[in-house]
Amino acid sequence: MEVKNNNVGRALAKLKKQLHEEGRLEVYKANQFFEKPSAKRRRKKMEGTLRSKKKQDENTLKKSTY
């Protein structure tokens, strides 16, 4: 990343946006601290539950509009 016109803030914002889009920022944050395997399973199960609930809510919303 090249800093133009001595604008470090803009270059940093572009870098953060690029890292976020590639998913590297989330991986870095997840690997910063050790997560116990049981906690990881619990988190993934909760994420799946929330994802399925959200999908179910979207489906019921679509059906109710017809």
pLDDT at residue 65 in the model? 65
Radius of gyration of the chain (CA): 19
Amino acid of residue 53 = K
pLDDT at residue 38 in the model? 97
Q: What is this structure's pTM?
A: 0.53
- Judge whether residue 1 has pLDDT over 70: no
Asked if 19 contacts 25 with a C-beta cutoff of 8 angstroms, the reply is yes
> Could you read off the pLDDT of 16-63 as tens digits, one per residue?
999 889 988 888 888 899 999 999 999 999 999 999 999 999 888 887
